[in-house]
Structure 1
Amino acid sequence: MGLFEKLKNGLKNTKDALASKITGVINSFTKIDEDFFEELEETLILSDIGAVTSANICEALRKEVKATGTTDPAEVKGLLKKIIAGILEGENELILDTKPTVILVIGVNGAGKTTTIGKLAYNLKSSGKKVVVAAADTFRAAAIEQLEVWTQRAGVDIIKHSEGSDPAAVVFDAVKAGIARDADVIICDTAGRLHNKKNLMDELKKIARIVNNNAPDSRVETLLVLDATTGQNAVNQARLFKETADITGIVLTKLDGTAKGGIIIPIKEELGIPVKLVGVGEKIDDLQPFVPRDYVEALFE
């Protein structure tokens, strides 16, 4: 199955919930008036797009309708696709232009960090990259063992310490090992929860310092893993992490198990963080690059 078909299948629930409702609004109007825009905005809000982003989309649509002279509601879908794709485009690719490139993977426990790292390691290895993984989530029970299983599946090296050890020390060893082994990419798992938010954020800053001090010429991609099934809560998580971490991209997991896949739109519109990868299934090859135009086509096809 091709990437687009996988994405399309993964977005089925979202399409049924979001796109079908939008189509319902479009089909129930014979002209584009203020009632039409109000109904459309309400539909977007109820579909987890959020009040701010829904208002922005409708405002952009008003301008497009005026600029193009569109009078038929049936033509609105094409304009909407263009607007949403425009919101989502920009900096969607994972940038691996240094050797090594360091990828810090952050996010709350349960969002799918461990599986994301395993799948990403597999993708990179399959494309010819040499990968080293740092098991630096040393606080969650069984996190190291779970990551070890995934790295074995992916066929990549893992650097680990004992449970409860200093995460920054694991990252330090992984960076040194990655450089010594001529790795292309070093992927670092991080703690999803410490006993308070300040401790978690301090830990992330400490890890970032270790990377910057020991691999100063390496590009650092900081990927925030979010669970699509949590809807608007995912936006709130992204907002909190953005306060402390220099997030370069989002990985949206469990897209295939939710009707809330539209959450991608407010994450980019309100926080300015691009989505780089999406999880569309449980298999090791079910993590794929996020392509905005494919997303919009799969949603509104």
Structure 2
Amino acid sequence: MTEQKKSWFRRLTEGLKRSTGVLSGGIGDIFTKRRLDDAALEELEDLLITSDLGVSVASKLTQSLARERFGKEISAEDVRGVLAGYLTEILAPVAKPLTIDPAHRPHVILMAGVNGAGKTTTIGKLAQQFREQGKSVMLAAGDTFRAAAVEQLQVWGERTGCPVVTTRLGGDAAGLAFEAMTRAKAENVDVLMIDTAGRLQNRTELMEELAKIVRVIRKQDETAPHDALIVLDASTGQNAINQVKVFSEVAQLTGIVMTKLDGSAKGGVLVAAAEQFGLPIHAVGVGEGVEDLRPFDAEIFARTLVGLEVEDAA
């Protein structure tokens, strides 16, 4: 394992410590020199559900374990190994890095998510990463109802050397998106990232605004947005599932970024989201630094979540 991978693994391990403690510790409590019987399977299923893996994943995991090992002696380490393998199978197909298509200029990324999920910060981190790859980036402050969001994006713009398109507080977000598209095309920008408002409680207004933004974008490029990403806060647990449902209804989501794994005991919800929606998981965040937002690695995540060592990660 390279030093860079080790460093990332250490951050991920630290970030998932609370989630790992709940799940791994619970497995250790259940499977202490016992056979795999109905009682053990029921306890395990309850543990998986309370670890935010979701009812469907918990049921499938325990059924798979029962088929392989029912009635046999089984250790906590055995259970962790089986679970890690099954979780990797669920996560591997959706572990896909976010890539920029050079055929589209600008490549338009629409960012969605509720307030507090880390959406604006994620935009800034991605902007810096794209800039380090040599791409030109423009940001659009489409969360026009929150002055703090606009100011935060402007700070990231200054930090990364990216122009930021803004409008007056409370201004028309769709109009801003249209202006940003016009400027990005005129300036031959590689990537345009559009922030959006995240007021999930005002569902009708949110859906209308997002739908309008999408319509306006497509007036200039019928293939845009080329990515519509939802930023999820790991600490919200199963509420993240509802967020994906609601935003998918209007924004036709193409991928997920999960933040704040460093402060959550609910990292398992990423597995539930992957199993239910099948959306690509592009990146996960385990800290405040730009380097703490990294492409999602299914095997490392799965093994870390259940408390296993990761020695052979590439």
Q: Taking structure 2 as the reference length, what is the TM-score of the superposition?
A: 0.88
| In the alignment, structure 1 residue 188 sits paired with structure 2 residue 190 | no
Matched with 1:270 is 276
Matched, 1:55 2:55: no
User: Helix, strand or coil for the counterpart of 2:197?
Assistant: coil
| Residue identity (%) | 43
Structure 1 counterpart of 2:87, one-letter code? I
2:242 is matched with: 236
Counterpart residue number, 1:5? 10
Residue matched to 2:34 = 30
Q: What is the aligned counterpart of 2:46 among 20, 26, 42?
A: 42
Which residues of structure 1 form unaligned runs of 5+? none
- 1:103 to partner: Cα distance: 0.8
Indicate the residue corresponding to 1:75 in structure 2. Answer: 78
C-alpha contact 1:64 1:79 (8 A) present in aligned 2: no
Offset of 1:284 from its aligned partner?
Answer: 2.8
**Does the residue aligned with 2:41 lie in a helix, a strand or coil?**
helix
Counterpart CA distance in 2 for 1:194 and 1:108 is 6
2:89: which partner in 1?
Answer: 86
Distance, in Å, in 1 between the alignment partners of 2:201 and 2:27 is 43
Contact 1:138 1:163 in 2 (8 A): yes
- TM-score, length-normalised on structure 1? 0.91
Aligned length: 298
Report the AA paired with residue 243 of structure 1: E
**What SS does the aligned partner of 2:150 have?**
helix
SS of match in other structure, 1:90: helix
Read off the aligned partner of 2:74 and give its amino acid letter.
D
Structure 1 runs of 4+ with >4 Å offset? none
Give, in angstroms, the shift of residue 59 of structure 1.
2.1
Q: Which residue is equivalent to 2:178? A: 172
CA distances 1:87-142 after superposition (whole Å, capped 9, x unpaired)? 11224221322432211100111111111111111111112221111111111232
Residues 149-208 of structure 1: per-residue CA shift (max 9 Å, x gap): 122222222111121111111111111222222222111000112883111101111111
Moved more, 11-20 or 101-110: 11-20
1:226 is aligned, of 232, 237, 240, to 232
Identify unmatched segments of 5+ residues in structure 2. Answer: 309-314
Aligned-pair distance for 1:20? 2.4
Structure 2 CA distance for aligned equivalents of residues 45 and 107 of structure 1: 24
SS in 2 for 1:225: strand
Where does residue 150 of structure 1 map in the other structure?
156
Contact kept in structure 2, 1:61 and 1:83, CA below 8 Å: no
Q: CA deviation at 1:279?
A: 1.2
The whole-number CA distance in structure 1 between the counterparts of 2:298 and 2:200 is: 34
- Deviation track 1:226-248 (CA, whole Å, cap 9, x = no partner) reads 11111111122222222222111
Partner amino acid, structure 1, of 2:90: I
In structure 2, relative to structure 1, the CA distance for the partners of 1:114 and 1:120 (3 Å cut) is same
Q: Residues 103, 63 of structure 1: CA spacing in aligned structure 2 closer, same or farther, 3 A cutoff?
A: farther
- CA shift in 2, pair 1:296/1:121, >3 Å: same
Question: SS at 1:243's partner residue?
Answer: helix
Question: One-letter code of the match for 1:55?
Answer: S
Q: Is the 8 A contact 2:111 2:230 kept in 1?
A: yes
Alpha-carbon distance between aligned partners in 2 of 1:195 and 1:36, rounded to the nearest angstrom: 40
User: Do the aligned residues in 1 keep the contact of 2:27 with 2:79 (CA within 8 Å)?
Assistant: no
The AA in structure 1 aligned to 2:29 is G
Does the aligned pair in 2 maintain the 1:18–1:262 contact within 8 Å? no
